[in-house]
């Protein structure tokens, strides 16, 4: 049986890429370790300092598992997992995504900032034709973890601001906890919108969302201070703003003729109480998490 593949295009000149060779600029791409490689050396070098620091923080905080069973169970984790509260929120968001962004019939979907590929794995198991995209190909936090899944889907190393696909071929484009890493979310959303087929939808899942920009900046500043103190970094690298605002997302959606709605995830009671206590202590609104859907 022939395996479904998306129609690839050069991420730099946008010409079609038959047989992994660009018909426009002549760039050559390949597939190694089950991953289609479309990340240019320049983009990889620019991203590496942040990714090196990101891996170090994740390892020291105990977030880099190795057991295949761990990945296969996501978004379900043990109660004593260091990120159990976060995964409870992500499970709620996953349900919102299924209810409000996915039709009953199988679709072609793009999972941007896919990380370990857990979302692509879950949706591919339901018959959706999935493409998982990330810059990071690390075997614990990145696309290398996709080797653990029993269900096949397309895995692509690329930058989500330079997507290696022909336009208008995906029914859903979902940013999986990733859009807040973009230096320019409006431009990144514009690139994602190019990928949408007629009547397609964009979903932004589990990025920290705020009504007021100043609360987002305060959250990022608090988090940077925490990481610097816990890990001894002189400075913490951030590739993007670190948060999103509802106003900016709605403005971006409107500019592309899309209408949006937000479905909030509540999380476990203990997680909610800690957030409200932090609100009183820090004097700022906590971030909202969930799924923002525009169609």
Instruction: Using the predicted structure, report yes or no on whether residue 233 has a pLDDT greater than 80.
Output: no
Q: Summarize pLDDT for 94-118 with one digit per residue, the tens.
A: 999 999 999 878 999 999 999 999 9
Considering the domain boundaries, does residue 22 fall inside one? no
Considering the domain boundaries, does residue 15 fall inside one? no
At 68, is the pLDDT very low, low, confident or very high (cuts 50, 70, 90)?
very high
- The strand pairing partners of 288, in sequence order, are 209
Q: Of 41 and 2, which is predicted with more confidence?
A: 41
| Whole-number average pLDDT of the chain | 91
For residue 263, give the nearest of 215, 201, 216 by alpha carbon: 201
Domain that holds residue 198: 31-294
Residue 92 · residue 141 · CB < 8 Å: no
Tell me what pLDDT residue 247 has: 97
Considering the domain boundaries, does residue 19 fall inside one? no
Considering the domain boundaries, does residue 2 fall inside one? no
Q: Summarize pLDDT for 13-36 with one digit per residue, the tens.
A: 999 999 999 999 999 999 999 999
At 137, is the pLDDT very low, low, confident or very high (cuts 50, 70, 90)?
very high
Considering the domain boundaries, does residue 35 fall inside one? yes
Structure tokens at 283: 């004097």
**Cα 206 to Cα 91: distance, rounded to the nearest angstrom:** 10
Q: Of 86 and 96, which is predicted with more confidence?
A: 96
Considering the domain boundaries, does residue 99 fall inside one? yes
Residue 95 CA to its chain's centroid (Å): 16
Q: Of 65 and 260, which is predicted with more confidence?
A: 260
Considering the domain boundaries, does residue 6 fall inside one? no
Which CATH number covers residue 138?
3.40.50.150
At 124, is the pLDDT very low, low, confident or very high (cuts 50, 70, 90)?
very high
Number of domains in the chain: 1
Considering the domain boundaries, does residue 221 fall inside one? yes
Tell me what pLDDT residue 141 has: 85
Which runs of consecutive H residues, i.e. helices, occur in the chain? Answer: 41-60, 68-73, 84-100, 118-125, 185-194, 213-231, 246-255, 269-282
Tell me what pLDDT residue 2 has: 66
């Amino acid at each position: 049986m022939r395996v479904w593949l998306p129609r690839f295009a050069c991420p730099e000149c946008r010409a079609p890429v038959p047989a992994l060779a660009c018909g426009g600029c002549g760039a050559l791409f390949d597939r190694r370790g089950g991953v289609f490689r479309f990340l240019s050396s320049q983009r990889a070098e620019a991203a590496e300092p942040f990714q090196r620091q990101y891996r170090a923080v994740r390892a020291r905080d105990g977030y880099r598992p190795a057991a295949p069973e761990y990945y296969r169970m996501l978004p379900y984790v043990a109660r004593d997992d260091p990120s159990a509260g976060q995964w409870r929120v992500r499970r709620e968001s996953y349900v919102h995504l299924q209810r409000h962004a996915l039709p009953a019939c199988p679709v072609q979907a793009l999972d941007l900032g896919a990380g370990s590929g857990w979302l692509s794995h879950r949706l591919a198991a339901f018959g959706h034709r999935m493409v998982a995209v990330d810059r990071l190909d690390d075997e614990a936090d990145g696309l290398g973890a996709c080797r653990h899944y029993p269900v096949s889907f397309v895995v692509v190393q690329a930058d989500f601001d330079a997507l290696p696909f022909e336009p208008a071929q995906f029914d859903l484009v979902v940013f999986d906890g990733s859009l807040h890493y973009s230096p320019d979310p409006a431009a990144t959303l514009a690139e994602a919108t190019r990928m949408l087929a007629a009547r397609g939808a964009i979903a932004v899942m589990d990025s920290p969302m705020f009504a007021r920009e100043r609360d987002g900046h305060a959250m990022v500043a608090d988090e940077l201070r925490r990481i610097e103190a816990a890990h001894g970094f002189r400075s913490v690298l951030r590739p993007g703003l670190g948060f999103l605002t509802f106003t900016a997302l709605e403005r971006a959606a409107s500019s592309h003729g899309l209408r949006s709605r937000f479905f909030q995830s509540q999380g476990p009671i203990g997680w909610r109480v800690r957030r409200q206590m932090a609100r009183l202590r820090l004097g700022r609104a906590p971030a909202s998490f969930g799924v923002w859907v525009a169609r």
